[in-house]
Chains A and B, each alone.
Chain A
Amino acid sequence: MNTLVFTVLTLSVLGVLLAVILYFVAQKFKVEEDPRIDEVEKMLPGANCGGCGFAGCRAMSEALVTRDNISSLFCPVAGGEVMKSIAGYLGKAAAEKSPMVATMRCGGTCEKRPKVNHYDGALSCAVVNTFYVGESACAFGCIGYGDCVHACKFGALHINEETGLVEVDPDKCTACGACVKACPKGLFELRKKWPKNRAIYVACRSKNRGSVVMKACKAGCIGCGKCAKVCPFGAITVDNYLAYIDPEKCKLCRKCVNECPTGAIHIVNMERLALEPKAAPAAPKTETVAEPKTAKTE
């Protein structure tokens, strides 16, 4: 009995003593931290994707609280609304950015861009890229081993088995930019997100001359410049035999789509413009090319 009492007493006294010491030590070495950091972190989505440029959401919230000017900080996952509420909570001016979405700019499906060799090595786009141009004859097109799919933390990307190309789910995409870094061919671009997930873009990155592109892929941009001529807003530029639609200038008028002889300009969730009757001689040609195109956008 004595042993029991003695043990309990010693341990209790020891415990109390240590608690007192710890309390004073904790007071002495206390780290002052702004309680707002915790609050801001709660408001952020907690994806820790690094899309903002910081190591994670904690680092981002620290930056948001400590910096005076937060107009350069933006969480692409949370979006404008959340950023506004965070800025309101902190009493600072919020960054204003329209929502973005990742866009994969290659239209070379298995059918239009046939394979000319067989690859047998490690299944990674980066590895393929160290060896050679890829299984098709196009040096700029999608390799299709899904480095971007592995890089995406939100499950927004998948490979379409039929086309062999990567597709983006705009509802899941948060525009964190991981795919942009992962793609060795630089096919991804963060573009302005239109309402109803509409989109228009040149689905080609080939900087080769038209004749070279034609041999490798039937869906590539040949740099003919017809789209640039027809664009009423000056949104299209042709550089290095490659057209580019500036998402800031484009107004989704879709005039360029009908002009493109190879169907390299893709439209999503939109109908094509009806062909004008005066273009009768050119119409049959455009239409034959157009058929698979419309089937694809559906």
Chain B
Amino acid sequence: MRTFPIGGIHPHDNKEWSKDKAIEVLELPDEAKIAMIQHIGAPSTPVVQKGDKVLTGQLIGQAVGFVSANIHSPISGTVTAVDAYPNGQGQRRMMVVIKREGDEWVDTIDRTPEHKRECTLTPQEIVAKIKDAGIVGLGGAQFPTHVKLSIPDGQKAEVVIINGVECEPYLTSDYRTMLERTEMMLTGVEIVMRAVGVKRAVIGVENNKPDAIAHIREVIKRDNYVGIEVMPLKMRYPQGGEKQLIAAVTGRQVAPPPALPISVGAVVCNVSTAVAIYEAVQKNKPLIERVVTVTGKHLKTTHNYLARFGTPVSRLFELAGIPEGDVKLLNGGPMMGRAVVDITAPLIKGCSGLTVLSGKEAARGKELQCIKCGKCVEACPMGLEPYILSKLAKLQKWDMAEEHNTVDCIECGCCSYTCPSYLPLLDYIRIGKQTVMTNIRARAAANNNKK
């Protein structure tokens, strides 16, 4: 069974808490706050004003530039404010607040339940539809999908890789999507294959989800999806990282940035994104909802919700029943998730799950000295030396950090996880990475000015 070549760790997957919970449609929120930045790239510009009536699926945020994404209203009602509100990290970001009145949809959206498989659109038309629908990578990175599917001149896609790995512990939203929305996903994959002009697609699924593997294989056989295969992968974190998944499936390594996956002929896309692509292209439905896992050992109930964006995360936590005492609320899983400090914050496109850890589970160990054991070096899936990168960032030696390729870091957190001295390695590496990236960009801008 395949997996990526170097590094990686084996955390307990903790999926048992929510993996048997079928997807439930969450009630609509009475008020939704929709952030104008839910993607990588330029923030969208709000195109509605206070007092405007909006319908479900109506455009409310216009993408600015190519690397940006449209944002649509997840509910119908009246816009009550366009203002800055705190996001999950407490940072104030531009948001559109909509008060719900009923649930009226834009009439071009096909809301009939039957499955529509036939697609005769040209690749350009497909990409345009995906762009209009504001689809971003739903695995967590929130990278605009139309950018990924626009193959640059001189490069050719050879294989579409669908990311059904879900290596992050606790989360089960992709798993439930693969089980319950299989046809939508597979048609989405067919559309992606058509858009980038390839005949082969591989769905990578880790072997801790045998029923998903079996189910998808069965549907492929039953409905005759040509060129799509399921590849079981050996369980290992961070297999869901784009570069790790490409290495696991194709055995090819993507060069360091600015090289993109397309340089080795791969287009990678998450299973939930494939479903969103199906809905956008076949049903004209913009991206306004997603499957979210709400999980944790100490919760009263765990859920997999189909929730509209803009729903306050406090509502999701309420329904699950937050236990007494200190808890850590995470947007995402325990490895890459970000702590939520303001629960009035809305659900955003990149949120595949909300994990609740008890204070005891979340507590970090007392920081000790680095004993140069090399465990972090062994664990790093990018072949970096985390202890050096962390030290360099701490000492603010940005030039040396750049020489040691700190920008290659994918922030998976394997180094911090594996450190026996409980050093906050990634915390410092992240600053180093950000500063070095800023320096590189500044240098490039200065060079451009000279020319």
Contacts and interface: CB of A to CB of B under 8 A. Distances in A.
Interface string A129-143: 011111001010000
Nearest to A138: B90
> Taking chain A's interface residues, is the majority helix, strand, or loop, or is none over half, making it mixed?
loop
A98 to B, nearest CB: 31
A117 interface: yes
B434 interface: yes
Contacts of B297: none
A108 B431 CA distance: 26
A139 B91 contact: yes
A19 interface: no
Interface string B420-438: 0000100110110010000
Contact of B91 (A117, A120, A127, A132): A132
Contacts of B434: 130
B313 to A, nearest CB: 14
Given A131-B338, A131-B339, A133-B341, A120 B89 contact: no
B362 A122 contact: no
Contacts, number: 50
A64 B362 CA distance: 56
Given A116-B341, A117-B341, A120-B363, A132 B89 contact: yes
B10 interface: no
A133 B427 CA distance: 15
A133 B342 CA distance: 10
B364 interface: yes
A163 interface: no
A122 B341 CA distance: 17
A137 B363 contact: no
B89 A133 contact: yes
A117 B345 CA distance: 15
A208 B90 CA distance: 13
B271 to A, nearest CB: 29
A126 interface: yes
A118 interface: yes
A127 B339 contact: no
Given A121-B427, A127-B427, A127-B431, A132 B92 contact: no
Nearest to B423: A122
Nearest to A182: B396
B104 interface: no
Given A117-B341, A120-B364, A133-B341, A127 B90 contact: no
B424 A132 contact: no
Given A122-B424, A127-B427, 15 more contacts: A117-B339, A121-B364, A121-B424, A121-B427, A122-B428, A124-B427, A124-B431, A126-B431, A127-B424, A131-B89, A131-B338, A133-B91, A134-B90, A137-B90, A139-B90
Interface of A: 116-118, 120-122, 124, 126-127, 130-134, 137, 139, 208, 212
